């Protein structure tokens, strides 16, 4: 517990802040200004603290203060070392992850094996087309224009692609089935209203389409 130095007016004490002589029964508290002791009245304690004075009995000894500073510096040094070590470890982890991602990026894409036999490619393309939404287009047109002619042939320029051309007297549709993807894709590659826009072999039907738009290869 801190002790207070109490003086009375008999000693004719005065506040070292405001210079006022203390009244009878008024207490003066002792503050330290460096190594000097100062009497401070109760009205001037805030001003004393503002000046940097410390109330006697509340400040640690100089050697203890220096020891505390040394301990704080030691603790800060340890924390700084830990942060630097953690940052280095994190950098190494990120670098390793980055290397793995780069290595993964160089891995070849898994490509679905394309049937080498032309008949197998055509059969695979027909199966894929029949499971696509394009059958509904063919069925819708067939309800108005009747049964179409269908030519299914491998592409001359792309080994993994099979062309399916569906024709009526008044219009035609061309579809490409790409068998090289992990999930073979079917897309509409063109359409028109004049059969003269097509190559002669695209008019040579080798399949039919029923009322549901399902394509069936002709049996030779």
The tens digit of pLDDT for each residue in 149-196 reads 999 999 988 888 999 999 999 999 999 999 986 778 899 999 999 999
Give per-residue burial for 48-80: e unless 16+ CB within 10 Å, then b: beeeebebbeeeeeeeeeeeeeeeeeeeeeeee
Q: Would you list the domain boundaries of the chain?
A: 9-58, 118-217
Query: If you write DSSP's letter for every residue of 157-191 in order, what string do you get?
Result: S-TTEEEEEEE-SS-EEEEEEE-SSSS-EEEEEEE
pTM, two decimals, is 0.48
Backbone angles phi, psi at 127, to 5 degrees: -60, -45
Summarised one tens digit per residue, pLDDT across range 109-134 is 444 445 568 889 999 999 999 999 99
């Amino acid at each position: 517990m801190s002790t207070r130095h109490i003086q009375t007016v008999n000693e004719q004490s005065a506040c070292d802040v405001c210079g006022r002589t203390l009244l009878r029964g008024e207490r003066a508290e002792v503050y330290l200004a460096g190594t000097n002791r100062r009497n401070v009245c109760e009205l001037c304690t805030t001003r004393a603290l503002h000046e940097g004075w410390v109330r006697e009995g509340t400040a640690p000894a100089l050697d203890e203060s220096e020891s505390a500073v040394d301990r704080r510096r030691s603790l800060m040094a340890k924390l700084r070392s830990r942060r630097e070590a953690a940052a280095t470890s994190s950098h190494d982890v990120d670098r390793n992850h980055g290397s793995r991602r780069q290595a993964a990026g160089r891995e070849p894409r898994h490509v679905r094996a394309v049937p080498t036999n032309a008949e197998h490619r055509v059969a695979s393309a027909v199966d894929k087309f029949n499971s696509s939404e394009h059958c509904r287009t063919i069925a819708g047109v067939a309800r108005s224009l009747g049964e179409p002619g269908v030519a299914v042939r491998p592409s001359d320029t792309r080994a993994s692609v099979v062309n399916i051309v569906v024709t009526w007297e008044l219009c035609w549709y061309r579809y490409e089935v790409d068998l090289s993807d992990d999930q073979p894709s079917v897309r509409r590659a063109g359409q028109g209203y004049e059969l003269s826009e097509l190559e002669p072999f695209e008019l040579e039907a080798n399949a039919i389409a029923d009322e549901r738009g399902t394509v069936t290869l002709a049996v030779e």
